[in-house]
Structure 1
């Protein structure tokens, strides 16, 4: 996967560490389906298991599966 170096200038009032910002980015990209669970965990610097455990703290479900797909799968079962 190609890498991109990004420099962000965030207000000090946010009081976020670089690790927290990286985790926010990883969870959002995972939630949007742009990264797999493994890719997001790697970006955040965690194992898959730890990343999965932390997702709930960010309001993101481990089961990133659209409701329409679940309904279709149930109908086809």
Structure 2
């Protein structure tokens, strides 16, 4: 399925990305955020990002997102 969105010209220069690069970057960042919030499984998020699960894990690491959903909350609850 194809989705069209309007993006201001300034976004391309601010992010220093061509349209194709920006589209891929937006897919990746959306996938990471939706995985982080529990809306998507790791498998589905990687699929949305157009990456293998291994590549997706590395991408999450590059932007500082943990691949372990809810682990911090579980550990905090356990420590109480």
Q: With the length of structure 1 as denominator, give the TM-score of the two structures.
A: 0.76
User: How far has the Cα of 1:14 moved from its partner?
Assistant: 1.6
Structure 2: give runs of 5+ residues left out of the alignment. Answer: none
* Runs of 4+ with >3 A deviation: none
User: How far has the Cα of 1:5 moved from its partner?
Assistant: 4.7
The aligned residue for residue 40 of structure 1 is: 45
CA distance in structure 2 between the aligned counterparts of 1:12 and 1:66, rounded to whole angstroms: 39
Give the one of 6, 9, 25 matched to 1:9: 6
Q: With the length of structure 2 as denominator, give the TM-score of the two structures.
A: 0.73
Alignment RMSD (CA, Å): 1.9
